[in-house]
């Protein structure tokens, strides 16, 4: 075979390869053109959602996206978002993944405080805290005991006897110690002192803080579903036992 024929053969082989490649590309192009693009719905924020806001249906909308571009962790079902709380700020148009939601209201104390109330903690021990039996979600009454107080005003000596008074009634327990979620696990050891956080109005908060400052607090656990309050005037020693002491000059 002379050099000329070899060149022709080489050119023929190259042209065959090119033709085969172009044919294959053309066939693939036809298949892709006939292939229908698949879309799915995902849920995004219809508006800016502030942190710790309860999410409603009005705050959400569904948009269509290519299945191939499906965003990781995006949610396709609105019901899995509605009623949850936003952990941080969510911008309009943003997808809302699970890790940006607070699934249970009671996991965050600020979300558990009823409207118009404040969360205030008081220090109690096993005895003043009903033998450590109080749990989040219970309702309690608060008693305060104030010691004797003597003072002079305008040359007149005044003496206030020790008194125990029913300070607050029917107060919701938000948390006990560091337990934000009610668990069935019991403490292995009751600490000497631990905080109990109550939901109170601003005015009740003043009384509670001052009562703890000037006296000693004790909690009383209320029965489930019992409502109503009682009017009391406080109890001093003479209300318990009659005075039988002797006069001392």
Extents of the domains making up the chain: 39-103, 110-240
Which neighbouring-strand residues pair with 175?
A: 197
Q: How confident is the model at residue 172 (pLDDT cuts 50, 70, 90)?
A: very high
What is the rounded CA–CA span in Å between residue 214 and residue 189? 29
62 close to 41: Cβ distance less than 8 angstroms:
yes
Q: What is the DSSP letter of 101?
A: E
141 close to 220: Cβ distance less than 8 angstroms:
yes
What is the rounded CA–CA span in Å between residue 198 and residue 172? 6
- Between residues 63 and 37, the one the model is more confident about: 63
Collapsed DSSP state (helix, strand, coil) of residue 61: strand
- Between residues 125 and 55, the one the model is more confident about: 55
Residue 117's alpha-carbon distances to 42, 122, 128, 154, 162, in angstroms, are 37, 16, 23, 41, 31
What is the rounded CA–CA span in Å between residue 114 and residue 162? 35
Mean pLDDT across the chain:
79
Torsion, Cα 122 127 128 130, to 10 degrees, reads 100
Mean pLDDT of 145-153: 83
Q: What percent of the chain has pLDDT over 70?
A: 75
Task: Give me 11's structure tokens.
Answer: 């050119």
- pTM, two decimal places: 0.58
Question: Residue 77, by phi and psi: left (phi above 0), alpha (psi -120 to 50) or beta?
Answer: beta
Torsion, Cα 96 99 103 109, to 10 degrees, reads -120
Collapsed DSSP state (helix, strand, coil) of residue 31: helix
Overall CATH class of domain 39-103: alpha beta
For residue 198, pLDDT over 90 is answered with yes
Task: Give me 248's structure tokens.
Answer: 């001392």
What is the rounded CA–CA span in Å between residue 12 and residue 57? 67
Mean pLDDT of 57-77: 80
Alpha-helical regions (H) of the chain: 3-34, 109-112, 202-214, 237-240
Query: Which pLDDT value is given to residue 139?
Result: 92
What is the rounded CA–CA span in Å between residue 55 and residue 84? 6
């Amino acid at each position: 075979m002379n050099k000329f024929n070899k060149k022709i053969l080489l050119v023929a082989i190259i042209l065959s390869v090119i033709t085969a490649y172009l044919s294959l590309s053309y066939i693939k192009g036809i298949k892709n053109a006939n292939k229908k693009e698949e879309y799915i719905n995902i849920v995004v924020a219809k508006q800016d959602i502030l942190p710790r806001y309860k999410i409603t249906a009005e705050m959400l909308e569904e948009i269509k996206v290519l299945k191939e571009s499906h965003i990781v962790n995006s949610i396709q079902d609105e019901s899995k978002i509605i009623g949850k709380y936003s952990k941080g700020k969510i911008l309009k148009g943003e997808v809302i993944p699970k890790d940006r939601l607070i699934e249970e209201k009671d996991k965050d104390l600020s979300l558990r405080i009823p409207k118009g109330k404040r969360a205030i903690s008081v220090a109690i021990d096993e005895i003043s805290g009903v033998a450590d039996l109080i749990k989040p979600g219970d309702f309690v009454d608060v008693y305060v005991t104030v010691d004797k107080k003597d003072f002079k005003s305008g040359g007149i000596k005044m003496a206030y006897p020790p008194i125990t008074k029913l300070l607050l009634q029917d107060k919701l327990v938000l948390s006990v110690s560091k337990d934000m979620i009610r668990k069935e696990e019991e403490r292995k050891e009751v600490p000497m002192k631990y905080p109990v956080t109550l939901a109170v109005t601003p005015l009740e908060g003043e009384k509670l803080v001052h009562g703890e400052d000037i006296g000693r607090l004790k909690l009383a656990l209320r029965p489930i579903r019992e409502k109503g309050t009682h009017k009391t005037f406080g109890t001093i020693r003479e209300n318990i036992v009659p005075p039988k002491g002797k006069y001392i000059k």
